[in-house]
Amino acid sequence: MLDYIQFVLAPQVVTGLAFGVAVILVALGLTIIFGLLDVINMSHGEFYAFGAFSALALNWLGLPFWLLLILVPLLMLPVGYFVERVLIQRVFNRPDRHVTTLLLTFGFGLVLEDAFRLGFGPNPYRPDTPIRGAVEFFGIFLPNYRLFLIVFGGFVIAGVALIVYRTRLGAMVRAAAFDRNMAASLGVPVAWVFAGAFAFGVSLAGLAGVLLAPVYSVFPTMGRDFILMAFTVVIVGGMGSIAGAVVAGLFLTQVQSIASLYISPVWTDPIVFGIMVVMLMVRPQGLFGRLGHA
């Protein structure tokens, strides 16, 4: 029994953790955008890919990986801001906002995907793993880079939570989410806050792209890998809730990880979606409700 825990269950939990951190990073951006802006961003996966491709291109120009970790998210801030102001604002102030933004972002995602294919070709690339080697603890074998992912990802998530819940900036964001007119009349620059939040969400996706590029490789359709999982996490955790994204992200990836030990891996995705369906029926606001409302 102990052998089983050590050699089969524990490694599965740990690799599930690395995947979970990655999913949370992508889902965090999505939940902020959904929770705050009420925008269903179907192009979020493509922004994740954008981060990975930018890292690839800058790496070819000679920039080291560690610089890219900071540079790419920073570069994506103006990109996200631009997209929000120019594209999303156009279709935002209408009663059928959900449909129009969904269509708009979906189309934009398709355009981005083909842009990657035109720019980089359809074949996969893989930047070299920046940290080689692996550690072994209690018989569990874990490559160093995945360990770094878990630790660094954890810090980023903690940082985001800190910004949102403990700073004035975060308070403005939450106020605008709760009641934009009231917040505006109290002096919160709502338009800036919205665009900034979108940019921040997109930049988080880009950071996830950079971090995961050595692990999952870079190719034009990579956005599709994560988008469904990210949406599931957002819905189960609560649209707009940071805590929800973290808890749901960890929970769902662990479910996937451990379930694949007992049943054919093909069934782990339906199980995760099944949880989402049950959540929608039983508690539609998710585990933790909306940003600003929690």
Partner 1 sequence: MPTFKKSIFAALLATTAATATHAADPVKIGVVTPLSGTYAGIGQQVRWGFDLATKQINASGGIMGRQIELLYEDEEANPSVAVQKAEKLFQVGKVDFLTGTVSSGSTLAVGQLAERAGKLIATTVSFADSITGDRCSPNVFRVNARAGQQSAALAVWLSKEKPKAQVFYLGPDYEMGRSTVAAFKSSAEKVGANTLGEVFAPLDSKDYTQYFGQIRASRPQVLYTSVAGNDTVRLFTQLQEFGLLNNMTVVGASGTVTSQNIGAIGKAAEGFVTGVGYSTEIPSPENKKFVEAFKTAYKADPDLYGTDSYGLIYAYKAAVEKAKSTETDKVRDALRGLKWATPQGEKTIRAGDHQAIQTMYVVRVANGEFKIIGQVSGDDAIGADTCTRF
Distances (CA, A) of 140 to 120, 132, 215, 252, 274: 37, 17, 19, 22, 31
Total residue length of the chain:
294
Q: How many residues sit close enough to partner 1 to count as binding (CB under 8 A)?
A: 37
CB of 192 to partner 1, least distance (A): 36
- We find the least distance from the C-beta atom of residue 125 to partner 1, in angstroms, to be 5
Q: How far apart are CA 188 and CA 175, in angstroms?
A: 8
Main-chain dihedrals φ then ψ at residue 251, nearest 5 degrees: -60, -50
Q: Are 22 and 211 in contact (CB under 8 A)?
A: yes
> Is 195:85 a contact under the CB 8 Å cutoff?
yes
Q: How far is the CB of 179 from partner 1 (least distance, A)?
A: 40
Q: And the tokens for 37?
A: 């802006």
| Interface region with partner 1, contact rule CB under 8 A, candidates 63-71, 79-87, 118-126, 154-162 | 118-126
Q: Please report whether residue 116 would count as binding partner 1 according to CB under 8 A.
A: no
From the list 117, 148, 285, 293, which residue makes contact with partner 1 (rule: CB under 8 A)? 117
**Angle ∠(255,256,258) on CA atoms, nearest 5:** 65
Q: Is 12 in the site for partner 1 (CB under 8 A)?
A: yes
Q: Which of 34, 65, 219, 231 binds partner 1 (CB under 8 A)?
A: 219
| Residue 123 found at the interface with partner 1 (CB under 8 A) | yes
d(CA 247, CA 233): 9
Comparison of 143 and 170: residue with beta carbon closer to partner 1: 143
3-state SS class at 286 = coil
Three-state secondary-structure class, residue 293: coil
Q: Which stretch binds partner 1 (CB under 8 A): 3-11, 32-40, 77-85, 89-97?
A: 3-11
| Distance in angstroms (rounded) separating the CA atoms of residues 245 and 168 | 22
Site for partner 1 in 246-265 (CB under 8 A): 257, 260-261, 264-265
Among 11, 130, 154, 170, binds partner 1 (CB under 8 A): 11
Residues in contact with partner 1 by CB under 8 A are 7-8, 11-12, 15, 19, 114, 117, 121-126, 128-129, 134, 141, 143, 145-146, 214-221, 225, 257, 260-261, 264-266, 269
